[in-house]
Structure 1
């Protein structure tokens, strides 16, 4: 059974990023979007449940958006206004609804990276 999961790591502290708000949208070819889910990371920097699984995981283009600015402000990090990074969007495609898609985010107030994890 396919599933989509995520994990957020705070590269400043070297720990999982707890409490990061995130949204997942499905993007249509005409540019419109449909909100699929909203979640917040737990103490391990993951969501408690997969973002999508089973029949809900369909082929398409998706966008995960992570509220890293609010996360770092919540830690007391001084950020300029506007913050260099506030919402980090990651747009990706799902081609195989039976696959496991894991989209981790490694973030600081000044940079981020991602990859397809396992």
Structure 2
């Protein structure tokens, strides 16, 4: 829970906020104003991608050999950024995804959805 506590503290500095991990995920909900939270989960293994930032819901993150899989969805201008994925091939719902290079990461924008619980994009990151 230290990461969650740090997120709540960082958000509270600029606006009243609420943090929760009820379903195994972590989020910060601003009480007013704009709050930006970036999770920097760094890889401990060279050549293994990590999530640098996400503007949306990341679910079921798992690594199987050289493939990382997760589900992603968001309501408004959703995107995610991967660190350490320069030599990887990324697909979203089985289609090749073209990233934008941003701040030493690869950024992937996805379509907004109305029901982020039901409409989840399946992301696969294949690294060599």
- For normalisation by structure 2, the TM-score amounts to 0.29
Q: Structure 1 length normalisation: TM-score?
A: 0.30
Asked which structure has the greater RCO (Cα within 8 Å, sep 6+), the reply is 1
